Structure 1
Amino acid sequence: MAALLLLLGLSTVKPAAAFYNSHSALGTNTNEIMDDDSSAPFIDLMKMALPFREARQLNKGNIEYDRNGWPKTISQGGQAGTRFVSKLPVGTIPSGQYIVLYEGEGKLDYRNDASLVAGALGRDIINLDPGKDNELNATLFILATNPANPIRNIRILPPGGICANNPFQRVAGAGQCKGNYLSFEQHSSKIIFNPDYLTYMRDFRVIRFMNMSGITRNPVYAWEDRASIDQQTWGGAEGIRGAPMEVMVELANRLHADPWFSMPHAASNDFIRRFAEYVQANLEPSLKVYVEYSNEVWNGVFTQHAFAKQQGVQMGLDPDPNQAAYKFYSKRSVDVFGIWEQVFRGNKRVVRVMSGLVGSTAMSKTILSYNGAYRFTDAYAVAPYVYGDANALRKARSVSDIFQVMTDPKYPHSLPNEIKLIAKQAEVAKSFGVDLIAYEGGQHLVDMTTKSDTQHPNNLFYAANRHPQMAAIYQQLLTGWKQAGGKLFVHFSSPRIYRKYGSFGTKEYITQPDAQAPKHRALLEFTRVNRCWWNGCSGDTLVRQAKPAVTLEAMKTQSEPLDATAPQYEPIHGEPPPFPMGNIPPEDAAPPSVETTLVTMRTMPNEQYVAGGGALIRQVRNPADVWAGASAYQLRNVLNGKIDGTADLAAMWQASWDQQNLYLRIGVEDDRPGVSDSTVPWEDDAVELYLDADGSMSQQYDQRNDFHFIVNLKAGNIVLGKNSPKIDRVPLRHTVTRSGNGYVLDVTLPWAGLGISPRAGQRMGLDIHVDDDDDGGDRDGKLAWKAKQDDAWQNPALFGGVILGE
């Protein structure tokens, strides 16, 4: 019900002021939801409070909680407490009287800068006064609750409200509106957002919800464990806090801003699919959505890095644990992208984002090149931060010393060197056909070794961030970013208090005057002077770069070093070449009829994986060309023997389907094709097709629809492996087209013969193996698409997964 009320909110209210961001080249990061978040995004202060469960220092006695975190029983003499605002500078939120609404029976108490003015069942009036320290701290306690009707659904709301046609401005009462007044008290579930927060956020084209969604160190896996509208609070510690997706989508809609969602690192495919389904159904159709797998998976301080490292090592992606982590991140990102694309029925609105360390082009190349991930990626994101050098900053004795370190070229992360790093990353991004964007960026004056907010050099950091020269640094950083080839720049971050953990907020609190916020002024000035400069920035249409053509060798990233050269265009006769199946020079190509057969296999691999990591098999759109739009998948696993690189043997497969047939095409490049001298076909050059038509994927052939087809290239026929059931109801059809050192095998498998009635979304097991014999006798080696051991002939569980698409 709460989610339904949310969707009946103010999404349709679109005053002109909401579109200030239409031509903005900048985005903003949100903050973590906490009681000391001075961006104060929500009008209900309880939504930013410390969870009762976590407030151990405020609790007494035995307390039991319901599933939403509300205390349902408190032992005699006990109390359950929460801190709902902490360390907020005066003026962050209005001082004065607030309304506390609640359901249930019991006794509430207010302390610190909060005091009770008047009380009635279900409704208290409290006063919030920051006092002499000009800092607001307030706590709420439940001293008693009726177990049969416990206190719950507490809301702490400011006085006044908004005019329905202008959610960006607080008003004191109905007299300031023309018949469309909405009070905070009566319409909190519709208004949701602090008008001052909306006013700040409306200047930015993209909102990155990484912090607001609580992604960092969040172990959530199951959909049922996601953040809920009805939770006591959306705040708390890492791994617990996070706003519901409904709230984030609603904010994007009201601001007409493209949302950027970071998916939890351990989330199941079901979680990701349902998240995408909600966004697809509820996000304004004119908005794009940026999708990223987790946050800074490369960063060793985060548990998501440890998770990726563990997964990568277990999968055997690389002998080096860190590189294994990068490759797992790349692989899982592509999986996530595929799920979103399936839900959105394509990727016209989905911006697929990978990210890495700005100072490491080697990392960028590994992430983008692994299994050809760049082909499924639209943008590569880095975080250009300027600070100079940590040790030099500790030696600073004045604000001018701070700026000297930040701008001196001898320090690795000085302004000029950071711009050089950006330029290098821009070159890498361009070579892979992806945009370079910034997921974070700005100044990075922070010393994590300090123990208090006032310990040196923290006070100098705060003063530098308040100094006009910081605006000049931001202007130069953003100008350098644009000149180097960067596109969208998502700064870090929304207003937040300056502390030992950093001075990252562009303002120190949400209502701070612009005159006191040089970084914020710099962002606004840059936006004003530098309106969208790249194609597709200001419109509703997603514009992508053309992907580079590459060779099979460039795609074999598992054996490449970390600093492997990015794929480049290699023009032939002035045109980007097709995929070089067989490395056939143009003058040696087959006759036109054969060339037409081969051309699809000559396009570069377009491996599209969808829900659950299954390869997508598209439905035939044009009966005259069953391969139009079909994805192509490369065989990379050497099962036994020895394959001396792609010059020795390389292969790809494609598939499509209609209501009558499953179509398979396998293209093979062999330096010595046609060797055939053995009594069994798999000891010569041969192709083996494995199919589990009902997707049961058991460890034994079921004698119904688990098949092992062996294509005998010498005899020109197809035989069945000994564990397969016989097919005599409908004959199979196949052709082999040869050209130079390459050949293409086309197989048509009638569904009637497989005992299957096909449907979109159907899962099957499938694998393709190619046997290679170069010198007679037994085969020399074998390539496979999915199997890692040569037992697929007796174990269908080793097949890969495929899904029939629309």
Structure 2
Amino acid sequence: MAKLRRPRGSRILAPFLLLLGLTATHHANAFYNSTSALGTNTNEIMEDDASAPFIDLMKMSLPFREARPLTKGEVQYDRYGWPRSIAPGGQAGTRILNKLPAGTIPRGFYSVLYEGEGKLEYGNDASLVEHTPGRDVILIDPGTDNELSATLYIKATNPANHLRNIRILPQGGICASNPFQRVASAGQCQGDYWSFEQHSSKIIFNPDYLKYMRDFRVIRFMNMSGITRNPVYAWEDRASIDQSTWGGAEGIRGAPMEVMVELANRLHADPWFSLPHAASDDFIRRFADYVKVHLDPSLKVYVEYTNEAWNGIFNQHAYVKQQGQRLGLDPDPQQAAYKFYSQRSVEVFRIWEQLFGSNERLVRVMGGLVGSTQMSKTILSHNGAYRSTDAYAVAPYVYGDTNALRQARSVSDIFRIMTDPKYPHSLPNEIELIRKQADVTRSFGVDLIAYEGGQHLVDWNTKSNDQHPNNLFYQANRHPQMGVIYKRLLEGWRQAGGKLFVHYTSPRIYQKYGSFGAKEFITQPDGKAPKHQAMINFSRSNPCWWAGCSGNTLVRHTKPATTLEAMKTQSEPLDATAPQHEPVHGEPPPFPMGNTTPEQEFSGNAPVNPPPAAQRLLVSMRASPAERYVNGGNALINLRRNGADPWQGAAHYVLRTVAHGKIDGTQDLAALWQASWDQNNLYLRIGVEDNRFVANTPVPWNNDSVEVYLDADGSLNSQYDGRNDFHFIFDMANGKVALGKNSPPQERIAMNQRVIREGEGYVLEITLPWNAVGMSPRPGMRIGLDVHVNDNDGTPQRKGKLTWRAREDEAWRNPSLFGRVILGE
């Protein structure tokens, strides 16, 4: 084992802060990308991201509150996600690295800087070497498994001065004039040495990451920004520089806008921003204003409304379909979705144009499916949207056919399938699809570009990384022949009429979710990365060939005089063979992701004279409810649509967990809940079917009763905060509501409720004013909510309890067990 020196140096007292005025000086060799025809997508920020974009490992870690069982016991957090109190016996833990290939980051000593008082411990491949107040030195060493995994634990913290602003930084640094290379000491610089430990807030980015990214003309920030399944609406809910980490689950993770703009400036690369699907005009306006002020004025900006609005696996598709139908844009739900996407895209473009004062630097992008010119024509022609659009983006992926790939027995079989014309997404057929799309976009006077593309060897049905055909996929991606496939794809792209090609994606580990990374990890040698080699060779042999590519002036086409509506009748149907891929880290979400059609919703086709509310709700319990979960398990409750009926279009959520006692199947007890909201109230409805209605004790939770739990600010701490954490108990014996003992005083609460009895069931309807719980609602806001139903059946105490989210009967004193809910539009 090589000998490692322990670093010394003064600790940083200031918190992590972006200092835009102190960016590293651009060296001439930074602009490798000035004539590049290629771009790259970024990855999601996670602890297993093998592109390792940030020098501070903490910024890629798992949030403490998500890291159970590493985090356990009663933990409360500050506004930035740092644990501010930990009860005895508890701890707050996080993963800072997870199964990364050795060499992704340097093996060696790292400084852990922090503020506050408490006790830190380390695990897996991280071990403590030296401790002084405010600074630990740890050794990160991959060990014999040749993988990097590391954990950090806060075992105790002083609530009056809690541990916070933790940074985990390597030894060494950079020369400010060359941010693309690590150096060991000041002796390797000409007086401009910046150590990682002392200048992390200015350096920000991993030099290895910058070195990789500098070859690309465009950086698409879709994944890094965390917009996938993210219903963010208000500016106040955007990612913050001061958050403890920018990693985490969907809807939580995402780099701040300031960081993305700074990366584009350092690389002198045009940024491509994908804006959240539910973002307000105010959000869009403020985002555009920041970019205008802080982005290098010699750079263009690619502006796109959301990502893959056509793709049914994403809740942004459900959103645009819902909005298109609400506005009556087309009787066909899919066509309504495409038209709303087109319409909202133009609205977003116009906001950016207003803020920039013109559209000279703006590349206005709409996107669609490479195999459907029908979709392209609908999107571009709707209300003449093509006149406000500069580029139409598709995702040309080569793989052949999924069923054929499952029968492959060798790497040679894989390449044969990828190139055989009889398979719909073989290389020759994909190039033909590109040619058709180029003909369509040319007729509309817009460029054809690729928002993603490359190989697409993945089988979503596999359950493990080693299951066939995954190992063949990995071998194929490492094989020189894959470089040949890439060369032919890129050359075919150019010849068919395509322009900018943005590859999917940055270095990423090969696993059952796909082998999409151009490399397997950021420091992998070029000689072992045939896809990356092929792209760089193509870029240098084919400097960008279209007008305006290499400069900062956008060259636009002359638009045709007509909207070309007639073209839609000549087009082919939607390509059902196209991959609806979702490259993710970790298991796919266990719930449907917002793609429920209106026909599946129980109240979507209500008769003119509907039956009583109780009957409608209870009848729906016998069918499959339309649950709508977003961001990996958050229930979505929408804004009230109908002034007379707050439940119109509301999804159902079923209580499935027996958290106490015994429930003898759905014939004994079954329950579900619905909700909607407006600026004044939260509307909640719980339907219960109970084969025996009993109320025989003075204790409300021992009778047949309903408990509603609400954490109005969504903090989900492990203890009630005395402000906006509530436990309501509705006693069916007397129709009264009681407050759990940990709730705030009763005089603060004013609500209306009623119970409707029907057969062997009942419906409880609740109207709860927001001001009674001290909140002002907005779309995208997260709250904590849970619904429990107690069943008595004639026993002295309750016989059992059904819950929606809590897995144990401790929610009365532990709000962290509540479910998570997002307020939709």
Normalising by structure 2, report the TM-score.
0.67
Letter of the structure 2 residue corresponding to residue 105 of structure 1: E
Tell me, in whole angstroms, the C-alpha distance in 1 between the residues paired with 2:290 and 2:131. Answer: 40
Tell me, in whole angstroms, the C-alpha distance in 2 between the residues paired with 1:330 and 1:491. Answer: 24
Letter of the structure 1 residue corresponding to residue 364 of structure 2: R
Residue 422 of structure 1, aligned match among 434, 437, 442? 434
Structural mapping, 1:424-573, within 5 Å: 424-550=436-562, 554=564, 563=571
Change in 2 beyond 3 A, CA 1:262/1:3: farther
Letter of the structure 2 residue corresponding to residue 364 of structure 1: S
Q: RMSD over aligned Cα, in angstroms?
A: 1.4
Q: The residue matched to 2:93 in structure 1 has which SS?
A: strand
Residue 276 in 1 paired to residue 280 in 2?
no
Residue 396 in 1 paired to residue 408 in 2?
yes
Letter of the structure 1 residue corresponding to residue 366 of structure 2: M
Q: The residue matched to 1:14 in structure 2 has which SS?
A: coil
Q: The residue matched to 2:230 in structure 1 has which SS?
A: coil
**Which blocks of at least 5 consecutive residues in structure 2 are unaligned?**
1-13, 574-825
Letter of the structure 2 residue corresponding to residue 7 of structure 1: L
Tell me, in whole angstroms, the C-alpha distance in 2 between the residues paired with 1:477 and 1:196. Answer: 27
Tell me, in whole angstroms, the C-alpha distance in 2 between the residues paired with 1:298 and 1:239. Answer: 19
Q: Which residue of 2 aligns with 1:7?
A: 20
Superposed displacement of residue 215, structure 1: 1.1
Tell me, in whole angstroms, the C-alpha distance in 2 between the residues paired with 1:379 and 1:217. Answer: 24
CA-to-aligned-CA distance 1:561-601 (integer Å, 9 cap, x gap): 69499xxxxxxxxxxxxxxxxxxxxxxxxxxxxxxxxxxxx
- Any conservation in 2 of the 1:86–1:138 contact (CA below 8 Å)? yes
Tell me, in whole angstroms, the C-alpha distance in 2 between the residues paired with 1:500 and 1:564. Answer: 33
Tell me, in whole angstroms, the C-alpha distance in 1 between the residues paired with 2:456 and 2:179. Answer: 33
Structural mapping, 1:671-750, within 5 Å: none
Letter of the structure 2 residue corresponding to residue 50 of structure 1: L
Q: Which residue of 2 aligns with 1:267?
A: 279
Residue 251 in 1 paired to residue 292 in 2?
no
Letter of the structure 2 residue corresponding to residue 286 of structure 1: S
- Any conservation in 2 of the 1:218–1:264 contact (CA below 8 Å)? yes
Residue 64 of structure 1, aligned match among 76, 81, 85? 76
Letter of the structure 2 residue corresponding to residue 8 of structure 1: G
Letter of the structure 2 residue corresponding to residue 236 of structure 1: G
Residue 324 of structure 2, aligned match among 296, 312, 337? 312
Q: The residue matched to 1:335 in structure 2 has which SS?
A: helix
Q: Which residue of 2 aligns with 1:302?
A: 314
Tell me, in whole angstroms, the C-alpha distance in 2 between the residues paired with 1:414 and 1:6. Answer: 48
- Any conservation in 1 of the 2:16–2:165 contact (CA below 8 Å)? no
Superposed displacement of residue 93, structure 1: 0.3
Tell me, in whole angstroms, the C-alpha distance in 1 between the residues paired with 2:255 and 2:40. Answer: 17
Residue 134 in 1 paired to residue 146 in 2?
yes
Q: The residue matched to 2:225 in structure 1 has which SS?
A: coil
Superposed displacement of residue 319, structure 1: 1.0
CA-to-aligned-CA distance 1:381-400 (integer Å, 9 cap, x gap): 00000000000000000000
Superposed displacement of residue 556, structure 1: 9.7
Letter of the structure 1 residue corresponding to residue 433 of structure 2: L
Superposed displacement of residue 308, structure 1: 0.7
CA-to-aligned-CA distance 1:489-514 (integer Å, 9 cap, x gap): 00011000000000000100000000
Tell me, in whole angstroms, the C-alpha distance in 2 between the residues paired with 1:213 and 1:459. Answer: 31
Change in 2 beyond 3 A, CA 1:51/1:561: farther
Tell me, in whole angstroms, the C-alpha distance in 2 between the residues paired with 1:197 and 1:436. Answer: 28
Superposed displacement of residue 320, structure 1: 1.1
Tell me, in whole angstroms, the C-alpha distance in 2 between the residues paired with 1:184 and 1:352. Answer: 38
Superposed displacement of residue 2, structure 1: 6.7
Residue 34 of structure 1, aligned match among 38, 46, 50? 46
CA-to-aligned-CA distance 1:607-633 (integer Å, 9 cap, x gap): xxxxxxxxxxxxxxxxxxxxxxxxxxx
Superposed displacement of residue 8, structure 1: 2.6
Q: Which residue of 2 aligns with 1:238?
A: 250
Aligned residue pairs: how many?
Answer: 560
Residue 381 of structure 2, aligned match among 366, 369, 381? 369
Superposed displacement of residue 334, structure 1: 0.4
CA-to-aligned-CA distance 1:46-80 (integer Å, 9 cap, x gap): 00000111112211111111111111111111000
CA-to-aligned-CA distance 1:744-799 (integer Å, 9 cap, x gap): xxxxxxxxxxxxxxxxxxxxxxxxxxxxxxxxxxxxxxxxxxxxxxxxxxxxxxxx
CA-to-aligned-CA distance 1:146-181 (integer Å, 9 cap, x gap): 101100010000000001101000001111111111
Tell me, in whole angstroms, the C-alpha distance in 2 between the residues paired with 1:319 and 1:54. Answer: 42
Q: The residue matched to 1:88 in structure 2 has which SS?
A: strand
Tell me, in whole angstroms, the C-alpha distance in 1 between the residues paired with 2:21 and 2:45. Answer: 24
Letter of the structure 1 residue corresponding to residue 259 of structure 2: V
Q: The residue matched to 2:223 in structure 1 has which SS?
A: coil
Change in 2 beyond 3 A, CA 1:168/1:390: same
Change in 2 beyond 3 A, CA 1:2/1:543: farther
Q: The residue matched to 2:69 in structure 1 has which SS?
A: helix
Superposed displacement of residue 201, structure 1: 0.3
Residue 357 of structure 1, aligned match among 369, 381, 388? 369
Change in 2 beyond 3 A, CA 1:154/1:300: same
Residue 344 in 1 paired to residue 380 in 2?
no
Q: The residue matched to 2:448 in structure 1 has which SS?
A: strand
Residue 111 in 1 paired to residue 123 in 2?
yes
- Any conservation in 1 of the 2:15–2:165 contact (CA below 8 Å)? no
Tell me, in whole angstroms, the C-alpha distance in 2 between the residues paired with 1:562 and 1:504. Answer: 35
Superposed displacement of residue 532, structure 1: 1.0
- Any conservation in 2 of the 1:2–1:229 contact (CA below 8 Å)? no
Letter of the structure 2 residue corresponding to residue 10 of structure 1: T
Residue 17 of structure 1, aligned match among 29, 42, 48? 29
Tell me, in whole angstroms, the C-alpha distance in 1 between the residues paired with 2:155 and 2:44. Answer: 29
Superposed displacement of residue 9, structure 1: 2.9
- Any conservation in 2 of the 1:219–1:264 contact (CA below 8 Å)? yes
Q: The residue matched to 2:261 in structure 1 has which SS?
A: helix
Residue 157 in 1 paired to residue 163 in 2?
no
Q: Which residue of 2 aligns with 1:293?
A: 305
Q: Which residue of 2 aligns with 1:55?
A: 67
CA-to-aligned-CA distance 1:343-370 (integer Å, 9 cap, x gap): 0001000100000000000000000000
Tell me, in whole angstroms, the C-alpha distance in 1 between the residues paired with 2:20 and 2:64. Answer: 28
Q: The residue matched to 1:524 in structure 2 has which SS?
A: helix
Residue 58 of structure 2, aligned match among 29, 33, 46? 46
Superposed displacement of residue 17, structure 1: 1.4
Letter of the structure 2 residue corresponding to residue 130 of structure 1: P
Residue 123 in 1 paired to residue 135 in 2?
yes
The structure with more radius of gyration? 1
Q: Which residue of 1 aligns with 2:586?
A: none
Residue 111 of structure 2, aligned match among 99, 106, 124? 99
Superposed displacement of residue 336, structure 1: 0.4
Letter of the structure 2 residue corresponding to residue 92 of structure 1: T
Tell me, in whole angstroms, the C-alpha distance in 2 between the residues paired with 1:59 and 1:205. Answer: 41
Tell me, in whole angstroms, the C-alpha distance in 2 between the residues paired with 1:150 and 1:348. Answer: 49
Runs (4+) of structure 1 exceeding 6 A deviation are 1-4
Q: The residue matched to 1:8 in structure 2 has which SS?
A: helix
- Any conservation in 2 of the 1:71–1:150 contact (CA below 8 Å)? yes
- Any conservation in 1 of the 2:99–2:149 contact (CA below 8 Å)? yes
- Any conservation in 2 of the 1:90–1:134 contact (CA below 8 Å)? yes
Tell me, in whole angstroms, the C-alpha distance in 2 between the residues paired with 1:343 and 1:305. Answer: 28
Residue 413 of structure 1, aligned match among 425, 431, 446? 425
**Which blocks of at least 5 consecutive residues in structure 1 are unaligned?**
566-806
- Any conservation in 1 of the 2:373–2:572 contact (CA below 8 Å)? no
Letter of the structure 1 residue corresponding to residue 53 of structure 2: P
- Any conservation in 2 of the 1:3–1:246 contact (CA below 8 Å)? no
